[in-house]
Structure 1
C-alpha cells in the first residue's frame, strides 16, 4: 500500500508536470525577478591574505548603544512605502500592497541591502531622528543609512560601525552580516558581541573588534564625524590580535584606543583570510 501511494510522489499532478521549467545542473538567474537575484559575493575574489590589512580614512556609518539586535540590523517584517527598499520595489513597478516582507524577499540582495539598519526603532546616536538614518558624508544633512553608504561607496571610502555591549543579540539572522558587508562596512567596533553574530560577521569578511579594558562607548564621546584608522599591531593575521583604533576629530585632535579582533580561532582566521566563508568553501571545491 505504501509503495503504491509513494511510488510516483515526485511526479506531481498533471498541472505540475505541464509547467515550463528550466533544466540543467545550475540555476538560471532571471533578471526580471524581484524575489531571487544574483548577489555579488563571488564577483571579486582576491588571493588569500596573510595579514590583517590596515583601514585608513574610514568613516562612521552608525554609532549605536547597547543590545543592538539582529532585527535592528536586518528587520524581517513589513517593507515601508517610503523606505529605500520600498522605493526600489516601486521602481520595478511593484505596488506597495505587493511588497511582501523583508523575510520573504531575502533572496533579493537589492532589497536586503536597502533594508539593513532600516528598522524604524533603530537609534543612531549620530542623528536625533529615529529609524535607519545617519549623517550624509558632508556631515550636515540627515539621510538614510543606505543613501549615505552609496555615497561613500562612490568615493571608495571604507566604513565602520561603532556600538556598545552585546552587539548582534537576538536570532541568528545571516542577512544582518551579509547586509553589513554589502553596505561597505569593513569593521564593527563594539564593547562586546553576541556569539553567533560575531561568527557571522567573520563569515562575511567583516572584522569584529572589541574595545579593550575599561574603554567604553561613552568614553569615546563620538559625534560620528570622526575619521577612523585601524592599524594592526602585528603584521600576521592571527586570532585575537591587537588593533590600534585612531579617531581623528574635525578640530584636529586625535584619540587612540586599543581593541582586539574577535577572530577567536585559527579556523575563523582562515575564513577571514579568504574573504569570508563563502569564498573559503569555493576555494575548497576548486582544489
Structure 2
C-alpha cells in the first residue's frame, strides 16, 4: 500500500499545483504539441485535395527510419539549428528518440535521415527537396514551412513497401506537421498505413500496373485528388478509387486512378475527424455532456 507513497525525500519534491500538466515553455524535451490548435467542434466536410505539391518523390523500401530517424542530431540540420537557438550545446543534443516529446525537434527531423534519396533533388542525400514551382533547393523542413505560408497541401509519392521497418508514431506525426495531406505509394507496410490514417493523412495506392515512372511523374507536377468526398460519402471506401490529375509545368498532364487505402470502418471514422486524436477528444467531450 505504501509503494506509491514514497519516502520523505520523494514526498518533499516540489510539484506544480492543479489538475493539468504545467508546460514549461523553455523546455527542449517536452513541449505542448499543436494537434488540437484550431480544432473545430465538429468535423469539417471531406474535401478534395487541390493544387498539391510533392514534398518527396521516393523509391522503394522507404523505412520508418528514413521518415523519422531515431539517431543522432546533426548540428547543421534544422533540428540542430533549433536546439542551438535554444542554447543547447551540440554535446547535449542527445538523439531524436530522446526528444520525441518535443514536436519542434521531431518535425524538423522528419525525412532527415542522411541516407534518404529524394528524387526531386537528384544527386543529393539527406533531407533535401526543391520548392515548386520556383525550383529552389532547400531542406525538406524549410520547404514545408514555405508551402504552409502559401497554403499549399503536400503529397509524398513513393514506391513499394513504404513505411517498412519498426513501427514509429512519429513517422506519421511528423509528415502531418509538415503539411502532408496524402501519400501515393505502390504498397504500404500494414501498421504504417494505419498510422497515416490515424494522423489524418490519406493513403492512396497506385493501381497494379502503375508506377511513378510508368506514369511519367517527375514530382514537379501540381496534383489534384478528386472524387474523395463522393467516395467517402458513399460509406466504407475499401476497394474504391479516386482520380488523380497531375499537371506538368508546361500545362500538359496525366490522369490516373488510385485506390483509397482506408481499410476499416473505424479508420474511416478517424479520417473523417481529421485523425484519431481529434476523434478521441470529441468522444470524450460528448461522453461528458
Same-fold status (TM-score > 0.5): yes
Correspondent of 2:179 among 173, 176, 184: 184
| Equivalent position of 1:27 in the other structure | 21
CA distance in 1, matches of 2:100, 2:32: 12
| Equivalent position of 1:239 in the other structure | 237
1:103-122: per-residue Cα shift (whole Å, max 9, x none)? 00000000000000000000
Residue 97 (1) aligns with residue 91 (2): yes
CA distance in 2, matches of 1:123, 1:61: 12
Q: CA deviation at 1:66?
A: 0.5
3-state SS of 1:218 partner: coil
3-state SS of 2:55 partner: strand
Correspondent of 2:112 among 118, 126, 130: 118
CA distance in 2, matches of 1:258, 1:54: 14
CA-based RMSD: 1.4
| Equivalent position of 2:81 in the other structure | 87
What residue ranges of structure 1 are gaps of 5+ in the alignment? 1-6
Q: CA deviation at 1:265?
A: 1.4
| Equivalent position of 1:168 in the other structure | 163
Q: CA deviation at 1:138?
A: 4.4
3-state SS of 1:219 partner: coil
Paired residue total: 280
What residue ranges of structure 2 are gaps of 5+ in the alignment? none
CA distance in 1, matches of 2:38, 2:241: 28
Q: CA deviation at 1:208?
A: 0.3
Q: CA deviation at 1:222?
A: 2.6
Correspondent of 2:67 among 64, 73, 93: 73
Does the 8 A contact of 2:133 with 2:220 survive in 1? no
1:1-287 maps to which residues of 2 (within 5 A)?
7-46=1-40, 47-49=42-44, 52-127=46-121, 128-232=123-227, 235-237=230-232, 238-240=236-238, 241-287=240-286
Mean CA deviation greater in 133-142 or 212-221: 133-142
TM-score (norm 2): 0.93
CA distance in 2, matches of 1:239, 1:44: 28
1:190-210: per-residue Cα shift (whole Å, max 9, x none)? 001110000000000000000
